[in-house]
């Protein structure tokens, strides 16, 4: 095999150990294998990931893509030396976006840039990516690990990903069909998810006071701040796909960076407004702790974080009970948080 023959002492002296890359690939293969689905055509390690697209039952298939990273949440994973869940976040940020169009994820590719390739660490990261792919039904068909000595410290890395899904054109969610009287359903988040960590690091002084991260916190039910912050992003794909089969969904918003104020309006057409009842939102304790510790105004919190709502879904009022039943049967904590009314503000929190 090539990795038994390919070795460069000169490149290693410059800080890049290509044999470590080969070892990492070998270690991650067992994780990649977990994600295989009917579209996979070859094994990891080639020059390109191949995927066979099954268009059976679709009149006009449309590919839907999404790409994202985990932001500075990666910094927390590095500080905690816990690398097996951050990959779930990378997948979630992509697949949760494309499901908002109504698309079923097909495959995923990851990109890891690191100061030094430690095969066991890279394999742990990819293990998390694989878990995210399993949760979303996507195949991990390839990726890249790049060693960048001198560009970043040896212990640092960054992680990003790219997902592709498919939807029949006639089933792409059309927000123009939304109407006053429709209702807004919340899908509970698992925690912070993967945005706003630059503010979190400032609030908890994470870069200079790491011991505080590991002390049990009464406000968090005895959990530490660190483990609560590192909770992986919830993936909503399978429950939303089940919903789309039975209910007339008018719009979906993935609540990420920009919180309620930026994301909910993306699924609301001109002339309508989502009125959100803040008293109905099941705010998670971590958000109360951030707001109190950092003296953050409530509006800034709702303009930065999901506050406990990972997704909002608009359905006709007559189908609300059916939608809630389907979502709950698929493991979601789903509940009503608002309604659609005539107006130009797109979203109002009251």
Q: What residue spans of 62-217 are helical by DSSP H?
A: 73-80, 86-98, 119-136, 197-203
Matching residue, tokens 């991260």: 213
pLDDT in the model for residue 6: 63
Closest CA to 331 of 206, 241, 226: 241
The rounded average pLDDT for each run of 10 residues, N- to C-terminus, in the chain (350 residues) is 59 70 83 88 76 90 97 94 97 98 97 96 97 97 93 96 97 97 98 96 88 90 95 98 98 97 97 98 98 97 98 98 98 98 96
Sign of CA dihedral 203, 208, 210, 215: negative
Q: How many CB atoms lie within 10 A of CB 180?
A: 12
DSSP state of 40: B
Strand arrangement of the beta sheet that strand 104-114 belongs to: 61-69, 157-168, 104-114, 139-147
Q: How many CB atoms lie within 10 A of CB 72?
A: 18
pLDDT in the model for residue 62: 97
pTM, rounded to two decimals: 0.93
pLDDT in the model for residue 1: 40
Strands (E), 89-200: 104-114, 139-147, 157-168, 183-188
Sign of CA dihedral 231, 232, 238, 242: positive
Q: Distance (Å, rounded) from C-alpha 13 to C-alpha 142?
A: 28
Q: Distance (Å, rounded) from C-alpha 129 to C-alpha 132?
A: 5
pLDDT in the model for residue 2: 43
């Amino acid at each position: 095999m090539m990795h038994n023959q390919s070795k460069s002492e000169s490149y290693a002296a410059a800080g890049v150990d290509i044999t470590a890359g080969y070892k990492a690939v070998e270690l991650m293969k067992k994780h990649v294998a977990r994600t295989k689905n009917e579209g996979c055509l070859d094994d990891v390690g080639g020059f390109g990931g191949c995927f066979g697209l099954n268009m059976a039952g679709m009149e006009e298939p449309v590919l839907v893509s999404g790409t994202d990273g985990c932001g500075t949440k990666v910094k927390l994973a590095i500080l905690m030396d816990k690398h097996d869940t951050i990959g779930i976040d990378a997948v979630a940020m992509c697949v949760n976006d494309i499901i908002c169009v109504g698309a079923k994820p097909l495959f995923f590719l990851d990109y890891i840039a690191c100061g030094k390739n430690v095969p066991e660490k890279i394999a742990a990261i990819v293990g998390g990516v694989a878990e995210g792919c399993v949760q979303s039904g996507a195949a991990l068909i390839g990726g890249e690990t790049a060693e960048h000595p001198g560009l970043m410290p040896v212990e640092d890395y960054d992680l990003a990903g790219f997902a592709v899904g498919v939807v029949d054109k006639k089933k792409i969610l059309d927000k123009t069909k939304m109407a006053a009287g429709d209702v807004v359903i919340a899908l509970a988040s698992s925690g912070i998810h993967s945005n706003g960590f630059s503010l979190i690091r400032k609030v908890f002084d994470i870069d200079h006071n790491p011991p505080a991260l590991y002390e049990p916190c009464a406000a968090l039910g005895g959990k530490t701040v660190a483990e609560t912050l590192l909770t992986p992003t919830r993936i909503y794909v399978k429950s939303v796909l089940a919903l789309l089969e039975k209910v007339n969904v008018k719009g979906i918003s993935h609540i990420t960076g920009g919180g309620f104020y930026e994301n909910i309006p993306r699924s609301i057409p001109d002339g309508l407004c989502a009125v959100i009842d803040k008293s109905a939102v099941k705010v998670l304790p971590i958000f109360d702790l951030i707001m109190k510790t950092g003296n953050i105004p409530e509006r800034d919190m709702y303009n930065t974080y999901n506050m406990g709502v990972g997704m909002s879904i608009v359905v006709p009022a007559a189908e609300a009970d059916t939608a809630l039943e389907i979502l709950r049967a698929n493991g979601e904590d789903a509940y009503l948080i608002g309604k659609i009314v005539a107006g130009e503000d797109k979203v109002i929190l009251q």
